[in-house]
């Protein structure tokens, strides 16, 4: 009961014309479908509601709204206040390859007009979907042109430029994970507290990078990058890892006879001459990926210290108002451990966060 009182519900509308790909992306992100399996999905009838617990105290109240003309007309007339009241985020999906761009834009204009009427402070994520269908040499120009038209429409309807974000997506690559990661990051109520705690942990472990993943969806919640890792040329590495983790879950499900949504793993390790990597459970709802220098002793110490740090991060599903108290507690515990080590003359990475 206490947890349910603390939960922060966020209403998210997923909208767009019929066939734009809304239900396909929702099924891949939240229902553990793979891209080749979404072909069997039928059209959404009216509104499909999903309550998805995400990051402990965040509950996504996702409304997948059918895009057929009759349904859209109903949303904009007799269901107008019901659909568009108390919306935190609108995710509007455009089929970038659509031959009816003018009609798509007109439907979008009507939608955000209703949104501005009932939820003027909401955030709008515009996904230019099915980018894989656009020839490579035409993608930049077509994306820029369509985005400019949509941005102008948003301004005309009263939305500030900073309230609207544009993301190119496809179900066939990691771009889908990147876009939805931005949505989730915006919605997580205590993101700054999480990042501050991760930054402190990264310093204690002397890690190159820490990436926090939601366990069910494998979406990145946030990350901390340090030192030489800031020069990593692969800007989409976090989303690539999301895709790899999803594929791994499907492989495990196939060989264990369980559903992909129920599959979990204790730890995954990669060791090379240049770096070492492991991903393990941090809290009930998250996995933590850690990138370390290629030092076996530091790597083993980091694994132990992440286990010790779990008790501090178990309180991620807290009310936002308690975030500062958590940070003080985390800093105090870390300082106590370091002070104890200093007194004992132990400076090794193995014990920086209270390890043996």
Q: Which residue has the higher pLDDT, 291 or 21?
A: 291
Residues paired with residue 128 on neighbouring β-strands, in sequence order: 94, 168
Residues 38 and 162 in one domain: yes
Please give the Cα distance from 95 to 126 (Å, whole number): 11
Say yes or no to pLDDT of 249 above 70.
yes
| Same domain, yes or no: 199 and 334 | yes
Q: Do residue 33 and residue 80 come from a single domain?
A: yes
Last residue of a domain, one of 169, 187, 205: 187
| pLDDT tens column, 221-233 | 899 999 999 999 9
Q: Closest by alpha carbon to 237, among 228, 225, 247, 249?
A: 225
Query: Could you report the per-residue pLDDT of 31-71, keeping only the tens digit for each?
Result: 777 776 666 665 555 688 888 776 656 788 899 998 788 88
Between 326 and 175, residue with greater pLDDT: 175
- How many residues are given for the chain? 356
Q: Are residues 238 and 148 part of one domain?
A: no
pLDDT at residue 261, as a whole number? 66
Predicted local confidence at residue 350, as pLDDT: 43
pLDDT value, residue 192: 84
Say yes or no to pLDDT of 318 above 50: no
**Domain stops at, among 162, 187, 212:** 187
Q: Verify that 75 and 221 share a domain, yes or no.
A: no
- Residues 116 and 118: their CA atoms lie apart, in Å, by 6
Q: What is the pLDDT of residue 351?
A: 43
CA dihedral 48, 173, 167, 74 (to 10 degrees): -20
What would the pLDDT profile of 105-136 be if each residue is shown by its tens digit?
A: 999 999 999 999 999 999 999 999 999 999 99
- 182 and 235 co-located in one domain: no
pLDDT of 41: 60
Checking if the pLDDT of 237 tops 80, the result is yes
Output the six-digit token pair for 240. 């690539």
* Order of strands across the sheet that contains 8-15: 47-54, 58-65, 8-15, 89-95, 123-129, 164-168
CA distances 137 to 140, 146, 179, 301, Å, are: 7, 16, 22, 48
DSSP state letter for 188:
-
Q: What is the mean pLDDT of the chain?
A: 82
Residue 338 has pLDDT above 60, yes or no: no
What confidence category does residue 184 fall into, taking pLDDT thresholds of 50, 70 and 90?
confident
Measure the CA–CA gap between 174 and 236, rounded to whole angstroms. 8
Q: How many domains does the chain have?
A: 2
What number is the average pLDDT over the span 270-278?
A: 91
- Segments forming the whole domain that contains residue 61: 2-187
Burial of 178 (C-beta count, 10 Å sphere; 0-12/13-18/19+): buried
d(CA 272, CA 294): 7
Please report, rounded to a whole number, the percentage of residues in the chain having pLDDT higher than 90. Answer: 46
Q: Clarify whether residues 303 and 345 are in a common domain.
A: yes
The residue to which tokens 């979008």 are assigned: 108
pLDDT at 332 (0 to 100): 57
Average pLDDT of the segment spanning 336-354:
44
Tokens describing residue 220: 């990145």
Residue 4 has pLDDT above 70, yes or no: no
pLDDT score for 341: 40
Looking up residue 269, the CATH number of its domain turns out to be 3.30.450.190
- Same domain flag for 238 and 161: no
pLDDT digits (tens, 9 = 90+) for 157-176: 999 888 999 999 998 888 99
Type and span of the H or E element at 183: helix 175-187
**Residues 50 and 121 reside in one and the same domain:** yes
* pLDDT for position 316: 62
Q: How would residue 3 be classed by pLDDT, with cut points 50, 70 and 90? A: very low
Q: Taking every pair of C-alpha atoms in the chain, what is the biggest distance, in angstroms?
A: 73
C-alpha closest to that of 23 among 7, 35, 41, 8: 41
Give the confidence band of 260 by pLDDT, cuts at 50, 70, 90. low
> Are residues 229 and 312 both part of a single domain?
yes
Taking phi over 0 as left and psi of -120 to 50 as alpha, with beta for the rest, 84 belongs to alpha
Question: Could you tell me if 206 and 178 lie in one domain?
Answer: no
> What confidence score (pLDDT) does residue 18 get?
85
- How large is the C-alpha radius of gyration of the chain? 22
CATH number at residue 17: 3.40.50.300
Last residue of a domain, one of 164, 187, 210: 187
User: Using CB atoms within 10 A of its CB, is residue 201 exposed (0-12), middle (13-18) or buried (19+)?
Assistant: buried
pLDDT at 48: 84
Task: Verify that 237 and 124 share a domain, yes or no.
Answer: no
pLDDT at 198: 94
């Amino acid at each position: 009961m206490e947890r349910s009182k603390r939960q922060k519900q966020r209403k998210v509308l997923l909208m767009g014309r019929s066939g734009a790909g809304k239900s396909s992306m929702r099924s891949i992100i939240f229902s553990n479908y793979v891209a080749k399996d979404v072909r069997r999905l039928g059209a959404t009838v009216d509104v499909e509601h999903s309550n998805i617990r995400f990051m402990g105290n965040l509950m996504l109240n996702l409304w997948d709204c059918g895009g057929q003309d009759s349904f859209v007309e109903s949303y904009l007339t007799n269901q107008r206040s019901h659909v568009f009241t108390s919306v935190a985020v609108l995710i509007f999906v455009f089929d970038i390859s659509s031959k009816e761009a003018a009609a798509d834009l007109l439907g979008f204009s009507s939608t955000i007009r209703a949104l501005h009427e009932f939820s003027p402070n909401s955030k709008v994520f515009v996904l230019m979907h099915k980018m894989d269908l656009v020839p490579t040499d035409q993608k930049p120009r077509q994306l820029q042109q369509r985005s400019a038209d949509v941005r102008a429409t948003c301004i005309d309807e009263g939305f500030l430029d900073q309230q609207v974000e544009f993301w190119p997506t496809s179900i066939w690559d990691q771009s889908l994970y990147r876009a939805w990661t931005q949505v989730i990051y915006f919605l997580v109520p205590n993101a700054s507290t999480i990042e501050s705690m991760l930054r402190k942990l990264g310093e204690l472990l002397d890690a190159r990078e820490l990436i926090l993943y939601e366990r069910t969806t494998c979406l990145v919640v946030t990350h901390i990058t340090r030192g030489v890792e800031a020069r990593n040329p692969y800007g989409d590495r976090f989303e690539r890892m999301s895709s790899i983790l999803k594929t791994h879950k499907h492989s495990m499900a196939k060989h264990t006879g369980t559903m992909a949504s129920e599959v979990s793993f204790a730890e995954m390790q990669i060791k090379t001459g240049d770096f070492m990597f492991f991903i393990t459970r941090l809290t009930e709802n998250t996995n933590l990926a850690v990138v370390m220098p290629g030092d076996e002793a530091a790597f083993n110490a980091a694994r132990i210290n992440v286990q010790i740090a779990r008790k501090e991060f178990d309180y991620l599903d807290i009310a936002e108002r308690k975030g500062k108290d958590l940070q003080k507690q985390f800093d105090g515990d870390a300082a106590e451990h370091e002070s104890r080590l200093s007194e004992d003359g132990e400076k090794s990475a193995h014990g920086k966060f209270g390890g043996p």
